[in-house]
Structure formats: structure tokens, C-alpha cells
Amino acid sequence: MKAALALAAALAAACLSAPVSAQKSYGPGVSDTEIKIGNTMPYSGPASPLSITGRVISAYFDEINEKGGVGGRKLNLISLDDAFSPPKTMEAARRLVEGDGVAFIFATMGTAPSSAIAK
């Protein structure tokens, strides 16, 4: 009994004296240095004049990155052309999430494209 108690005490002391390190755990698209953000815009097609929104967002993210990013992380905007077509939006969103591994999709243009990927 004394040997078992001594062994338990030794194990407890060893566990308590070991350095405790928290493992960093981020979701997809987030690392210590960057946050990947996905976006679809109508860079071509009938609604292409609305693509200025995508260029403005990109310029704003560049400005944020020049100032050090967000919490030391750079914003990496991956913006794809969906031609304002819901099927193309679905294809682009799938590529952004499954292929590029973005953290989230931000500022999709239009009701129909946004509704196509809402689920």
C-alpha cells in the first residue's frame, strides 16, 4: 500500500512539474500569420460594374495589412469571378472552402448568388 501511494505521489509530482503548453488551435484558413477570406464578385457578365465593390474591399484589406493586419495576422482575400450566376457562385464557393481553405466567405454580391450558397 505504501509503495502504491508513493508511486501515485511520484506520478502526480511529475505531471505537475512538467511544463504546461497550450496548443494553438485555429479553424480552417486561420494561422498565426494570416486569415484567408473568400469572396465572389461579378467581375464579368451583366453585373460587372458592381465588381468595383470587390476592388474596394481588396484595397481596404491591403491598407489594413500595411498597418500590421488584424492581431498581427495579414488578411488574405481570395476573390473569384462568379459572373453574377448562382451556379458559378456555387462552384467558386466550393473552391474557396474545399480547395483554398478559407476561414469564411465575405461580401458576396447579390441576392441570387448569396442565396445559392447560404446553406
Tell me, yes or no, whether 68 lies in a domain. Answer: yes
Tell me, yes or no, whether 83 lies in a domain. Answer: yes
Q: What is the DSSP string of 33-95?
A: SEEEEEEEE-SSSTTGGGGHHHHHHHHHHHHHHHTT-BTTBEEEEEEEE-TT-HHHHHHHHHI
pLDDT at site 25? 76
> pTM of the prediction?
0.76
CATH of residue 87's domain is 3.40.50.2300
* Structural domain boundaries enclosing 70: 33-116
More confident residue, 115 or 12: 115
Q: Give the pLDDT band of residue 119 (cuts 50, 70, 90).
A: confident
pLDDT tens digits, 19-48: 554 557 789 999 999 999 999 999 999 999
Tell me, yes or no, whether 26 lies in a domain. Answer: no
pLDDT tens digits, 53-99: 999 999 999 999 999 999 999 999 999 999 999 999 999 999 999 99
